[in-house]
Amino acid sequence: APAMLHLPLVVTTRLDLVLVLVTLLSLWTRLSGLGHPGAVVFDEVYYGQFLSLYMKRTFFIDDSGPPLGHALLALGAYLGGFDGNFVGNRIGAAYPCSLSVWSLRLLPALGGALCVPLGYLLTLELRCSHLSALGAALADLLLLLW
């Protein structure tokens, strides 16, 4: 006979508050001010040209990284309404008002933000103390801000 479910169903969990804290701090530092400046900065010159080609359905493979990375950046650009007609080929070029700068920068910022809790969890997985894991997460947080 099949086992019967006995009520009440109880779920217990443990919550690592330090992990929650470093994750929230990391998200806050990476996502606040994401739309500023409203102009092309550093790597956006390089990747903006790729995004423009991807939006025009010109796919390619180059030496700068895996195509999945470019495709993920293109997804963020597509969701933000980027049509591929703006090629930011110089630092400081102003983005058109119709383009959501925030959506272009969201996926890379989330990737950077998730590196901090990942560093914390990896340090714990290496059987280091929670204090060492906190130190690793704070080092990641500070080093990735530069």
Per residue in 13-36, pLDDT (tens digit) is 999 999 999 999 999 999 998 888
Which DSSP string corresponds to 102-120? Answer: HHHHHHHHHHHHHHHHHHH
| Nearest one of 121, 105, 129 to 22, comparing CA atoms | 121
DSSP 3-state percent helix, strand, coil across the chain (nearest 5): 55, 0, 45
Residue 6, pLDDT > 70, answer yes
What tokens were used for 19?
A: 């992990």
27 found inside a domain: yes
- Is residue 85 one of the residues assigned to a domain? yes
> Alpha-carbon distance 56 to 50, whole Å?
10
> Cβ–Cβ contacts within 10 Å for residue 66, how many?
9
In a domain, 66, yes or no: yes
Residue 11 lies in a domain: no
pLDDT of residue 1: 60
pLDDT tens, 81-136?
A: 877 777 777 788 887 777 778 888 888 889 889 999 999 999 999 999 999 999 99
Q: Is 4 among the domain residues?
A: no
Residue 86's domain comprises 17-144
